[in-house]
Amino acid sequence: MSDGFDRAPEQTRPLRAPPSSQDNIPQQNLESAMAKPQVVVAPVLMSKLSANAPEFYPSGYSSNYTESYEDGCEDYPTLSEYVQDFLNHLTEQPGSFETEIEQFAETLNGWVTTDDALQELVELIYQQATSIPNFSYMGARLCNYLSHHLTISPQSGNFRQLLLQRCRTEYEVKDQAAKGDEVTRKRFHAFVLFLGELYLNLEIKGTNGQVTRADILQVGLRELLNALFSNPMDDNLICAVKLLKLTGSVLEDAWKEKGKTDMEEIIQRIENVVLDANCSRDVKQMLLKLVELRSSNWGRVHATSTYREATPENDPNYFMNEPTFYTSDGVPFTAADPDYQEKYQELLEREDFFPDYEENGTDLSGAGDPYLDDIDDEMDPEIEEAYEKFCLESERKRKQ
């Protein structure tokens, strides 16, 4: 038998015809036509990246400081340019403080050898800390480090003494500055916040090696707050709030150690401002939030406090998150009710605890469903009794 796939032998063509002079197809064309299909391979692109390529810097980034830093200050004609470049570098890359501050201080020790040079250094850091937003913290850290690592100590005073003298110059005009125009007040506010950072970061080592904060700054901050609250313009009050959020907890602890009630007086003054001052609603809300923050011990949590399990006797909010139940008459009750035990027992004894109902035309009882009809809705009496005992025992233990 033959099927549709059989062919007669005489009709089968050879796979390749022998060459003949009478063939009209050239040999090279014939071979091309009979060749196997070619697989197209995408060209391999060679990367131009190199591990030896120079370090990448974002557009607009100035690498003058980085390139010259390795050579110390040799590429800088003046101390001012060297210090200003380092300050700008810290502003752009504050994370480099830890790795580069030591080299910076060593370079300064070889360059700052006169009173004038030290005065110039103090002024450069002060101006950067009070004119560049968000540099007050970094400036205070820098001042603390240099106060302990600069070796020069001329007759006019060491680095810390000259820095405090520079701050005193601004401090003495605080009342006029708080009343001044917008530009003057803005500069005054920058000084206030920088002084707050100095109070937190400037460490003074005593003769016995103990580290303390500068008491003179503590007194200064108290008077600066007086100047701000005495001129209750919005920007002055906002500055006072920022300062108290920054230093409030530390100041209050220090005052309490000395038996002073300065923080109580400040809070009372804030409350008077909220009631009497003609400040904006947003600023009043900010002041009230500050009072709330202070009432919560400035948001601090004492981890050393002894843990006590909450009970109705020691926790006024004990029943706040307790579930609410309803009696058969629809009267709500919670665990705080005196007759809670009886009402809860009545609740357990109710037969129809979850009545069936229809919602949007849907019968939730499962009527007509052969699967649900086979399910026994009632607990086994023995299981129900054990469950009730468990609930009652749990309640009894929780109240003990």
Nearest to 291 by CA among 317, 316, 263: 263
Beta partners for 363?
358
**Per-residue pLDDT at 398:** 59
Reply yes or no on whether the pLDDT at 130 is more than 50: yes
Q: Which residues contact 372 (CB under 8 A, 6 or more apart)?
A: 365, 366
For the residues 209-233, what does the mean pLDDT come to?
Answer: 93
Tell me the per-residue pLDDT of 33-82, one tens digit each, with 9 for 90 and over. Answer: 444 555 555 565 666 666 666 655 554 444 454 444 445 556 678 999 99
Tokens of 36: 């196997």
Domains of the chain (ranges, CATH numbers) = 77-295 (1.25.40.180), 320-348 (no CATH)
Greater confidence, 115 or 42? 115
- Angle formed at CA 138 by CA 136 and CA 140, multiple of 5 degrees: 70
Give the Cα separation of 277 and 266 in Å (integer): 15
The amino acid at residue 67 is: E
Quick one: pLDDT band at residue 345, thresholds 50, 70, 90? confident
**Per-residue pLDDT at 21:** 43
Tell me the per-residue pLDDT of 86-111, one tens digit each, with 9 for 90 and over. Answer: 999 999 999 999 999 999 999 999 99
Helix (H, G, I), strand (E, B) or coil at 68: helix
**Per-residue pLDDT at 330:** 66
For the residues 161-184, what does the mean pLDDT come to?
Answer: 95
Quick one: pLDDT band at residue 208, thresholds 50, 70, 90? confident
Give the Cα separation of 134 and 194 in Å (integer): 10
C-alpha distance across the termini of the chain, in Å: 98
Q: Say if CB 352 and CB 328 are below 8 A apart.
A: no
Strands 211-212 and 204-205: antiparallel
